[in-house]
Amino acid sequence: MAQKLPSRKVILKHFDLRDPVMAATIREKGAFKLSRNRNYFQVLCKAIIGQQISIKAAESITQRFQRLFQGHNPTPEKVAVISVAKLRQSGLSGQKVKYLKDLSVRFLDGSIRTHRLAYQTNEEVIEALTSVYGIGRWTAEMFLIFSLNRFDVLPVGDLGLKAGIKKIYNMRGLPSPKRMLALGKKWHPMETVATWYAWRIQDAEIITY
């Protein structure tokens, strides 16, 4: 189930104890704000669009993608019938168009059991979603963060998280997965909170899905 956002006091107490460097970033960047989007299909579309590209590029393609639906949210029904050419015009690669089409089919045929996801563990959700063509672990992790508001998600493959860690901890290069997992152990059970602040350190905009 989705949890209530932890208070600033609780967050700072945890990080002061476990990771003073991250605690300093949290103080600098202000309150933790994580929006929750219960439109599962929309969040997964946005996460697929954002795969392997910068936050800014993802934002502009997402806006063009949304405009295709003339002020309405994309739905499985609409994405299933919209032409490939139109989707490509929004800046999507041929591969991502295939992923979005497959996602809409999975929602329509019930193979993604949306009513179950909120009650499953992180790993169960990841397993269910990665069975869809084009959804990898990172996309499923974005879903856990932005649709289910899970606070213990560490997206080791996330480019923004890597760049944020490099900046916060003054590293010469991007952190290795091993280093990220070691940090994740310190942050547990608030890996998502630390990830959010690592994103904020590079981008003043609050990331939403």
SS3 state of residue 76: helix
The model's pTM is: 0.87
CATH number of the structural domain spanning residue 29: 1.10.1670.40
Q: Which domain range does residue 86 map to?
A: 40-146
Q: CA–CA separation, 173 vs 192, rounded Å?
A: 22
For the annotated catalytic residues, the residue numbers are 158
**Which tokens go with 101?**
């089409």
Cβ-contact 19, 187 below 8 angstroms: yes
Report the alpha-carbon distance of residue 116 to residue 104 in Å, rounded: 18
Q: Are 59 and 136 in a shared domain?
A: yes
Q: Considering its fold, how many domains does the chain have in total? A: 2
pLDDT 10s per residue in the chain (209 long)?
556 889 999 999 999 999 999 999 999 999 999 988 999 999 999 999 998 888 789 999 999 999 999 989 999 999 999 999 999 999 999 999 999 999 999 999 998 988 999 999 999 999 999 988 889 999 999 999 999 999 999 999 998 999 999 999 999 999 999 999 999 999 999 999 999 999 999 877 767 77
